[in-house]
């Protein structure tokens, strides 16, 4: 059978674009369909605009520090409209870069939705059908709202980037990294932030000591964090929304935002018609090579709900091309992935949490929490954490957890050592860089506890 393309990619996010580009560079005839904006969640409504907002939100503290260091500076008002206009322009530029990457490598693009018809056919929104030897699903995920009265009025993370103006107050529901990051961002931009989380501590699944410090610092910065609390209902009132909490309390907020989870974008993709198996949460089920239950159809990124991070989707896209087009079967390595949470302060983490490691066998915990030189001199109470989780038998560092300004930058480098299987003694043999916060990672000699 003669196909229109060797590869048809559905989804123009980071993973889909990378797979399309690399396959095309190798000589494959490739097409890609994207119904929204090129760049996907990361570039358009995730990592990039969020990080730029993080930068913007850090300036009040920077100005206060400058004053403490002798600079005669004053803080003016934050101009959301000016920032937002520049942000939009930057996202437009980046989308153009993504379009250029595809065009320059000969990938044919369709600015419309595509859905599966059968194992080798997709149908575009205009009714045109295209055939391909291989189809790659890279449609990502979307934020979801809970089913409760009034939830239809609330914002999700995507909406924050499109606000005409910043609200005076906001309630954020959720305790994951998206909820916590936006709580810190909006707090830094001058919004009165309240956060509800139904669990006992935010950032479930991360190291307990590290997330405890992040929680403490968020409260110290002025975020009104309520743990063990959820929203029962919300009603529209003049100037905002009246919210009833599960503990019986009531309060009004100008805006309410749900950051309570994301779902794979698999609705109306034609998966059932094509015979592609999906999981309980709607995710596309794949094997170690990103192949679905249909041999000609693969899936990568958040739509598979494995490790929902942009660099992981890109790695999965590269592994897919190696497997399918380069004759080199390459499973995706999801082990020991470093990641950062851009709260204030940031958390960087790689490997096992203390709680997870304790369940695997005897461990030694090396940790120190202190006021760093910069903040201490400025008279601030901010604390940081440096922590290593070490296997008591092999001496291998099983986990590294950092809560500090710049933790994301630090954990990228620490992640190399942990991925290579470095032992505590390897860390000890490394000479400290002084004076830095991160030098504590290689100067902790005695465990603070064992288990």
Residue-wise pLDDT for 201-258, tens only, equals 999 999 999 999 999 999 999 999 999 999 999 999 999 999 999 999 999 999 999 9
pTM over 0.75, yes/no: yes
Percent above pLDDT 70 for the chain: 100
Pair 267, 137 in one domain: yes
SS3 302: helix
Q: Residue 149: its pLDDT value, please?
A: 84
Q: Residue 225: its pLDDT value, please?
A: 98
Non-local CB neighbours of 403 within 8 Å, separated by 6+ positions: 210, 213, 214, 217, 345, 346, 347, 348, 384, 385
Full domain range(s) for residue 166: 151-260
Q: Residue 135: its pLDDT value, please?
A: 98
Q: Which residue has the tokens 């100008």?
A: 254
Asked whether residue 329 is domain-assigned, the answer is no
CA distances from 115 to 120, 279, 282 (A): 11, 18, 16
Tell me the pLDDT band of 150, cut-offs 50, 70 and 90: confident
Asked whether residue 333 is domain-assigned, the answer is no
Cα angle 276, 279, 283; round to 5 = 80
Tell me the pLDDT band of 1, cut-offs 50, 70 and 90: confident
Instruction: State which of 260, 278, 311 marks the end of a domain.
Output: 260
Instruction: State which of 215, 232, 260 marks the end of a domain.
Output: 260
Pair 361, 407 in one domain: yes
Pair 133, 156 in one domain: no
- CA 367/CA 351 separation, integer angstroms: 15
- pLDDT over 90 at 177, yes or no: yes
Q: Residue 235: its pLDDT value, please?
A: 94
Pair 312, 411 in one domain: no
User: pLDDT for 76-90, tens place per residue?
Assistant: 999 999 999 999 999
Give me the residues paired with residue 172 across strands: 195, 257
- Please compute the mean of the pLDDT values over residues 121-125 and round it to a whole number: 98
Asked whether residue 146 is domain-assigned, the answer is no
Pair 272, 299 in one domain: yes
- Please compute the mean of the pLDDT values over residues 334-344 and round it to a whole number: 98
- pLDDT over 90 at 359, yes or no: yes
Domain count, the chain: 3
- pLDDT over 90 at 385, yes or no: yes
Pair 211, 231 in one domain: yes
Q: 59-68 and 177-188 helices cross at what angle (nearest 10)?
A: 50
Tell me the pLDDT band of 148, cut-offs 50, 70 and 90: confident
Pair 319, 347 in one domain: no
Asked whether residue 334 is domain-assigned, the answer is no
- CA 404/CA 423 separation, integer angstroms: 23
Pair 163, 250 in one domain: yes
Pair 85, 206 in one domain: no
Residue 277 structure tokens: 């198996």
Non-local CB neighbours of 141 within 8 Å, separated by 6+ positions: 41, 262, 263, 264, 265, 302, 303, 305, 308
Among all residues, which ones are annotated catalytic? 434
Pair 411, 360 in one domain: yes
Cβ(386)–Cβ(440) below 8 Å: yes
Cβ(382)–Cβ(375) below 8 Å: yes
Q: Which residue has the tokens 């620490």?
A: 414
Pair 19, 134 in one domain: yes
Asked whether residue 253 is domain-assigned, the answer is yes
Pair 245, 275 in one domain: no
């Amino acid at each position: 059978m003669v196909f229109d393309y060797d590869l048809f990619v559905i989804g123009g996010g980071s993973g889909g674009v990378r797979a399309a580009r690399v396959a095309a560079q190798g000589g494959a005839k490739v097409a890609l369909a994207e119904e929204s904006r090129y760049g996907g969640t990361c570039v358009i409504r995730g990592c990039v605009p969020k990080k730029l907002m993080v930068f913007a939100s850090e300036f009040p503290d920077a100005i206060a520090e400058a004053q403490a260091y002798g600079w005669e500076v004053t803080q003016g008002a934050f101009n959301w409209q000016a920032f937002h206009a520049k942000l939009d322009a930057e996202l437009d530029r980046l989308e153009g870069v993504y379009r250029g990457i595809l065009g320059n490598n000969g990938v044919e693009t369709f600015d419309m939705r595509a859905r599966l018809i059968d194992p080798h056919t997709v149908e575009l929104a205009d009714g045109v059908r295209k055939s391909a030897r291989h189809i790659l699903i890279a449609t990502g995920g979307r934020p979801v709202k809970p089913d409760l009265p009034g939830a239809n009025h609330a914002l999700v993370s995507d909406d924050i980037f499109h606000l005409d103006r910043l609200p005076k107050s906001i309630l954020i529901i959720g305790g994951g990294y998206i909820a916590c990051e936006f709580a810190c961002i909006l707090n830094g931009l001058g919004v009165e932030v309240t956060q509800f989380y139904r669990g006992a501590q935010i950032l479930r699944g991360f190291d307990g000591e590290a997330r405890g410090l992040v929680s403490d610092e968020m409260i110290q910065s002025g975020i009104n964090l309520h743990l063990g609390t959820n929203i029962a209902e919300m009603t529209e009132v003049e100037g905002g929304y009246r919210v009833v909490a599960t503990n019986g309390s009531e309060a009004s907020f100008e805006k309410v935002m749900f950051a309570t989870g994301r779902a794979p974008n698999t609705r109306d993709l034609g998966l059932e018609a094509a015979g592609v198996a999906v999981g309980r949460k709607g995710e596309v089920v794949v094997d170690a090579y990103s192949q679905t239950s249909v041999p000609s159809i693969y899936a990568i990124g958040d739509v598979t709900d494995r490790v929902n991070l942009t660099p992981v989707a890109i790695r999965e896209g590269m592994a897919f091309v190696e497997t399918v087009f380069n004759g080199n079967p390459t499973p995706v390595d999801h082990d020991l992935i470093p990641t950062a949470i851009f709260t204030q302060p940031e958390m960087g983490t790689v490997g096992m949490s203390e709680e997870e490691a304790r369940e695997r066998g005897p461990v030694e915990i090396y940790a120190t929490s202190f006021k760093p030189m910069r903040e201490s001199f400025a008279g601030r109470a901010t604390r940081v954490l440096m922590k290593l989780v070490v296997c008591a038998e092999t001496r291998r560092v099983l986990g590294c957890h950092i809560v500090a300004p710049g933790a994301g930058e630090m954990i990228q480098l620490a992640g190399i050592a942990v991925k290579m299987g470095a032992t505590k003694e390897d860390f000890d043999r490394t000479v400290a860089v002084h004076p830095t916060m991160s030098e504590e990672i290689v100067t902790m000699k005695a465990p603070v506890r064992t288990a």
